């Protein structure tokens, strides 16, 4: 087996950022378990692993490339630790632990982190819950104070009122993400049928609604006491910090928290099926969907890697058998296979979205999927199959390590589930050692002639399209008497210091803005670049001025459709041949289009850049533009638009754009409409290609580990590209709207109402009224603890989230306040939106809000340039709007000096509700009467 590409270079890049410091004298109660420093011949992440006397595992990874730290606390508790019939507790705690603790006030967690210029969140899955913050490095002690207080001192602040509000928030989250989404309930019904009754994966992570209703405050407290102790947690810190000081802080804030009950691993019993199970459901969807799965192993099982490779060969992309037999032949709009693995179980999973233009029969799709599996058995595994999957795995691993968060997450995951953070090289070797025989062996063991789980999701009233009649009904879940077994200790931890005093921030770090260089290719294309040596990768984006704005309204969607066709064949090679060539290089090349530009995004290992750019040149300058590719892309677009028509959020976005921008390109989604796309021809695509893909329209942004001269030498191949710039036609006059009008778009049966309030506003600028209006809006609706979100989500429980924002482009912009809310409070939510916007406009910004905005926005710049993607975005703003390289310095000066009076003047000008319209997408039969009672003129709207 050949050595992994650039293994030594990768290791050097990753370890080169690590700050090497002498071994510190450890605080009493902390033990050093291991130090890992990968050699130049190994791929890995350097770290030190410690353990506190109470069982808390601590992992430190030093990286001083950017002035930030990422803090992650992972608890080894997910929905798998819940008891049957008592589901949703782990996810509920993800919410509860942001609601304050004994020494941290309500909503202060979000406020403290946001004001520090940081980002934060928490996530829950079947196997773990994690909380994380990325902040400027001077804020580390404050993050440890926050995380330790909710680990050790949450329960004294857990009130019935907080519990009820968060239970409502979870209900709203479920309504928004599951009940009000096409196919939203599919996964939970599928897993309920796949896994045995009582299996930890047989209920959804968010919980069954009836279980949430059944839960009590005491249930929640007991669940916390059982699972959220330090001995069931891993604290991982990565970034720019002093190791000795950090260990002292960790010991101070976490060392006194007593250990929780002992935690034993859950059994990993392989799931088996006695026969093929068929289930089905009707949903508010356009495209019938087939989902099929074979139960396999569990994470890190000896067969996992071979099964991952098998899934990729069967359905991992445009070179796969499933793509060839279902998508390429037009029977499916989308189809694929994967092998998702969790701690206790994995499944070889297939899906296919039927193309109604070919009948939409899921029985036929099932037959074609099974034929693809049979075809694999006959054809076997090729050398290219193995090589491309292994190269992809290596490339994905490297790109995941471009950020401190990616490295911290990798360390935390491996420690939590396998008690070993140092598994990057091990995983690479696992995949490198898979043989053809291994893949065929796992195919025979887990797939060939084995029972499977088959689910049909069909449009309402179209059960005839199902793959087969149901032959299985999932048993009703058992209901446990309590959330946890046994009685737990209610003893309150005792602290040796005053935890109510929030730590002060250290001196703000010096920002590390990327050093930029400029050049021009032989054909005049401007290149803006920067060198970034943290990983041996290159990210290039070729931007072409035009995009959706370059197409006539009657041909809306043409730019996106043209990009889709350019992602297919060239004049020299088929789609499959080009895809395989890129897969063997571990690279990606993607054509796409948006409102104001088309673009080509290139991601690759730097060592493969020349070979990848040769493919880019072929796809760009010698496109196939073949009838078969065009028809397939057109059908996929049409069916996608039909599918999106069942998504209330898409309907709201499309309808609001139509209201504000009328019969202009900005008033139509950049994917077009069913009517406009249906009218497009291959000639249209060829004509648009000739218009858009000219060198005169192009600019390039590049972030690479290669120095400037080397990168320009590689980019010289694009200097042969020719063509003049094409002007964008002027934007037609926008419609005049009657402010204060409420427009209602009927979505029968919608589980929620989507509210949009807003108006046309100014285009983007970096230092003028647009930027200052962004600052003005920040306390109103631009942060989690803004007035609008605290009111509608935290105080009222109307929604999972509410916000307001300004959005601007080169020509115009908009102000928008929006939320998805419970249907029964649609009118009340509008009242609260109007109240908050009106009061902010009339009364102005408070002193504490001004200080919060200044701190949050200015300190947040420390996080803006870490990854190549972030650097590229920063550079594109400079390039697109002709900004100075240090424009963010001027923005910082404005943020620090702008007065409350100037912000209030902007609020008076920009937040005039009399100039705004209101759009509601929801169930007209249930909400129309209450909306009319608000007193606004109510106009029906049809897309």
Q: Is the dihedral of CA 625, 631, 632, 636 positive or negative?
A: positive
At 842, which helix (H) or strand (E)? helix 826-843
Q: Taking residues 495-519, what's their average pLDDT?
A: 89
Q: pLDDT tier at 177 (50, 70, 90 boundaries)?
A: confident
How high is the pLDDT of residue 685? 98
Two structure tokens written together for 494: 């005792």
Residue, of 92 and 34, whose pLDDT is higher = 34
How high is the pLDDT of residue 11? 41
Helix, coil or strand: residue 466: coil
For residue 479, pLDDT beyond 90: no
- Percent of the chain scoring above 70 in pLDDT: 96
At 32, which helix (H) or strand (E)? strand 30-36
Contacts of 17 (CB under 8 A, 6+ apart): 63, 64, 65, 534
Two structure tokens written together for 702: 């590049």
User: Which residue, 304, 328, 300, is CA-closest to 315?
Assistant: 328
Strands 742-746 and 938-941, bridge-based pairing: parallel
At 162, which helix (H) or strand (E)? helix 160-174
How high is the pLDDT of residue 506? 84
How high is the pLDDT of residue 543? 97
What fold, for 516-720?
A: Cytochrome Bc1 Complex; Chain A, domain 1 (3.30.830)
Q: pLDDT tier at 277 (50, 70, 90 boundaries)?
A: very high
How high is the pLDDT of residue 23? 55
For residue 862, pLDDT beyond 80: no
Q: Taking residues 440-452, what's their average pLDDT?
A: 98
pTM of whole model > 0.85? yes
670-694 tens-digit pLDDT: 999 999 999 999 999 999 999 999 9
Read out DSSP for 96-150?
A: HTTS-BTTB-TTHHHHHHHHTT-EEEEEE-SS-EEEEEEEEGGGHHHHHHHHHHH
638-650 tens-digit pLDDT: 999 988 988 999 9
Helix H, strand E, coil C: the string for 401-446 is CCCHHHHHHHHHHHHHHHCCCCCHHHHHHHHHCCCHHHHHHHHHHH
How high is the pLDDT of residue 40? 72
Helix, coil or strand: residue 700: strand
Strands 597-605 and 537-545, bridge-based pairing: antiparallel
In angstroms, the Cα distances linking 461 to 288, 342, 457 are 12, 35, 11
Q: How many helices (H) and strands (E) does the chain have?
A: 32, 24
Contacts of 704 (CB under 8 A, 6+ apart): 529, 531, 532, 537, 538, 539, 540, 606, 609, 711
Q: Taking residues 562-588, what's their average pLDDT?
A: 96
User: Which residue, 745, 780, 774, 779, is CA-closest to 762?
Assistant: 774
809/544 Cα distance (integer angstroms): 15
How high is the pLDDT of residue 99? 85
CA terminus-to-terminus distance, the chain: 58
How high is the pLDDT of residue 17? 44
What burial letters (b/e) apply to 163-198, b meaning 16+ CB within 10 Å? bebbbbbbbbbbbbebebbbbbbbebbbbbbbbeee
For residue 149, pLDDT beyond 50: yes
Mean pLDDT of the chain: 92
Q: Taking residues 530-551, what's their average pLDDT?
A: 95
Contacts of 395 (CB under 8 A, 6+ apart): 586, 587, 605
Q: Taking residues 647-673, what's their average pLDDT?
A: 95
How high is the pLDDT of residue 220? 83
At 879, which helix (H) or strand (E)? helix 868-881
Computed on alpha carbons and rounded to an integer, the radius of gyration of the chain in Å comes to: 28
For residue 635, pLDDT beyond 90: yes
Question: CA dihedral defined by 706, 710, 716, 718, rounded to 10 degrees?
Answer: -10
Q: Taking residues 817-842, what's their average pLDDT?
A: 97
What fold, for 7-254?
A: Cytochrome Bc1 Complex; Chain A, domain 1 (3.30.830)
Domain ranges of the chain: 7-254, 277-465, 516-720, 742-941
366/379 Cα distance (integer angstroms): 20
Q: Are residues 158 and 217 in contact, defined by beta-carbon separation less than 8 angstroms?
A: yes
Q: Taking residues 300-317, what's their average pLDDT?
A: 95
How high is the pLDDT of residue 96? 84
Domain 742-941, CATH class in plain words = alpha beta
Q: Taking residues 796-817, what's their average pLDDT?
A: 95
Q: Which of 20-34, 380-394, 699-713 has the lowest mean pLDDT?
A: 20-34
CATH number of 277-465: 3.30.830.10
98-114 tens-digit pLDDT: 888 999 998 888 999 99
Q: Taking residues 777-805, what's their average pLDDT?
A: 94
How high is the pLDDT of residue 502? 94
Q: pLDDT tier at 486 (50, 70, 90 boundaries)?
A: low
Read out DSSP for 325-384?
A: IIITTTSEEEEEEE--B-SS-BEEEEEEEE-GGGT--HHHHHHHHHHHHHHHHHH---HH
Residue, of 66 and 245, whose pLDDT is higher = 245
Contacts of 362 (CB under 8 A, 6+ apart): 288, 289, 290, 352, 354, 456, 458, 465, 466, 467
Q: Are residues 241 and 142 in contact, defined by beta-carbon separation less than 8 angstroms?
A: no
Helix H, strand E, coil C: the string for 518-529 is EEECCCCCEEEE
737/433 Cα distance (integer angstroms): 65
180/648 Cα distance (integer angstroms): 7
Could you give the count of Cα atoms lying within 13 Å of 150 in the half-sphere of its Cβ? 28
Tell me if 7-254 shares its fold with 516-720: yes
How high is the pLDDT of residue 24? 58
How high is the pLDDT of residue 6? 35
């Amino acid at each position: 087996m050949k050595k992994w590409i650039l293994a030594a270079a990768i290791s050097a890049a990753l370890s080169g950022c690590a700050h090497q410091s002498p071994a510190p004298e450890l605080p009493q109660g902390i033990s050093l378990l291991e130090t890992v420093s990968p050699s130049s011949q190994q791929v890995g992440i350097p770290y030190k692993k410690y353990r506190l006397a109470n069982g808390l595992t601590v992992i430190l990874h030093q990286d001083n490339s950017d002035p930030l730290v990422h803090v992650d606390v992972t608890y080894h508790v997910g929905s798998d630790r819940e008891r049957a019939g008592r589901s949703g507790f782990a996810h509920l705690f993800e919410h509860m632990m942001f609601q304050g603790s004994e020494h941290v006030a309500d909503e202060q967690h979000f406020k403290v982190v946001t004001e520090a210029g940081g980002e934060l969140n928490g996530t829950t899955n079947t196997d773990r819950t994690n909380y994380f913050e990325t902040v400027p490095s001077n804020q580390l002690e404050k993050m440890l104070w926050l995380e330790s207080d909710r680990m050790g001192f949450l329960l004294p602040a857990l009130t019935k009122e907080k519990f009820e509000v968060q239970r409502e928030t979870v209900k709203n989250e479920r309504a928004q993400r599951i009940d009000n989404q096409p196919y939203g309930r599919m996964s939970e019904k599928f897993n309920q049928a796949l896994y045995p009754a009582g299996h930890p994966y047989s209920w959804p992570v968010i919980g069954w609604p009836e279980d949430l209703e059944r839960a009590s405050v005491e249930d929640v407290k007991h669940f916390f006491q059982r699972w959220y102790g330090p001995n069931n947690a891993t604290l991982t810190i990565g970034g720019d910090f002093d190791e000795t000081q950090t260990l002292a802080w960790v010991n101070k804030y976490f060392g006194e928290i007593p250990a929780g009950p002992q935690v034993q691993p859950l059994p990993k019993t392989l799931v088996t099926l006695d026969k093929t199970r068929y289930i089905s459901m009707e949903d508010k969807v356009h495209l019938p969907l087939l989902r099929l799965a074979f139960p396999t192993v569990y994470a890190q099982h000896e067969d996992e890697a071979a099964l991952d490779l098998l899934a990729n060969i069967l359905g991992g992309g445009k070179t796969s058998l499933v793509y060839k037999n279902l998508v390429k032949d037009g029977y499916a709009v989308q189809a694929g296979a994967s092998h998702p693995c969790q701690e206790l179980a994995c499944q070889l999973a297939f899906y296919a979205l039927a193309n109604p233009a070919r009948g939409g029969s899921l029985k036929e799709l099932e037959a074609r999927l099974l034929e693809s599996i049979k075809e694999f058995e006959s054809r076997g595994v090729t050398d290219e199959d193995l090589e491309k999957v292994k190269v992809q795995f290596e490339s994905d691993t490297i790109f995941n390590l471009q950020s401190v968060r990616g490295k911290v997450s990798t360390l935390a995951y491996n420690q939590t589930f396998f008690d070993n953070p140092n598994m990057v090289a091990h995983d690479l070797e696992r995949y490198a050692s898979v043989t053809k025989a291994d893949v065929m062996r796992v195919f025979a063991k887990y797939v060939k002639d084995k029972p499977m789980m088959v689910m049909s999701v069909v449009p309402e009233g179209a059960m005839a399209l199902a793959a087969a009649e149901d032959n299985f009904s999932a048993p009703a879940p058992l209901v446990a008497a309590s959330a946890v077994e046994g009685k737990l200790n209610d003893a309150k931890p005792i602290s040796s210091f005053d935890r109510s005093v929030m730590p002060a921030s250290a001196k703000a770090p010096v920002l590390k803005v990327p050093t930029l260089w400029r050049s021009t290719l032989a054909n005049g294309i401007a290149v803006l670049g920067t060198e970034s040596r943290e990983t041996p990768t290159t990210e290039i984006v070729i931007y072409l001025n035009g995009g959706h704005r370059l197409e006539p309204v009657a041909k809306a969607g043409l730019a996106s459709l043209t990009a889709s066709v350019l992602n297919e064949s060239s004049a020299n090679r088929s789609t499959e041949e080009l895809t395989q060539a890129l897969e063997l290089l571990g690279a990606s090349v993607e054509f796409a289009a948006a409102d104001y530009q088309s673009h080509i995004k290139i991601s690759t290992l730097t060592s493969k850049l020349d070979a990848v750019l040769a493919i880019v040149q072929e796809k760009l300058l010698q496109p196939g533009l073949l009838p078969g590719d065009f028809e397939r892309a057109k059908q996929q677009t049409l069916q996608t638009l039909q599918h999106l028509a069942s998504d209330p959020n898409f309907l709201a976005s499309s309808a609001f754009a139509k209201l504000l921008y009328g019969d202009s390109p900005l008033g139509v989604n950049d994917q077009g409409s069913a009517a406009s796309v249906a009218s497009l021809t291959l000639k249209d695509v060829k004509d648009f290609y000739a218009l858009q893909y000219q060198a005169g329209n192009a600019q390039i942004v590049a972030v690479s580990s290669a120095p400037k001269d080397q990168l320009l030498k590689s980019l010289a191949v694009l200097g042969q590209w020719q063509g003049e710039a094409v002007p964008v036609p002027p934007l037609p006059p926008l419609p005049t709207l009657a402010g204060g009008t409420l427009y209602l778009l009927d979505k029968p049966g919608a589980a929620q109402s989507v509210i949009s309030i807003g108006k046309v506003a100014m285009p983007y600028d970096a230092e003028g009224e647009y930027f200052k209006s962004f600052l003005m809006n920040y306390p109103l609706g631009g942060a989690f603890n803004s007035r609008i979100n605290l009111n509608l989500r935290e105080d009222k429980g109307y929604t999972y989230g509410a916000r307001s924002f300004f959005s601007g482009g080169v020509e115009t912009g908009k102000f928008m306040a929006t939320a998805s809310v419970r249907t029964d409070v649609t009118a009340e939510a509008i009242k609260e939106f109007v109240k908050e916007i009106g009061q902010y406009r009339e009364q102005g910004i408070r002193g504490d809000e001004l200080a919060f905005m200044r701190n949050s926005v200015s300190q947040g710049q420390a996080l803006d340039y870490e990854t190549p993607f972030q650097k590229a975005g920063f550079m594109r703003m400079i390039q697109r709007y002709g900004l100075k390289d240090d424009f963010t310095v001027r923005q910082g000066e404005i943020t620090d000096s702008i007065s409350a009076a100037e912000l209030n003047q902007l609020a008076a000008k920009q937040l005039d509700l009399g100039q705004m319209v209101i759009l509601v997408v929801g169930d007209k039969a249930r909400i129309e009467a209450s909306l009319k009672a608000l007193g606004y003129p109510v106009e029906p709207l049809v897309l």
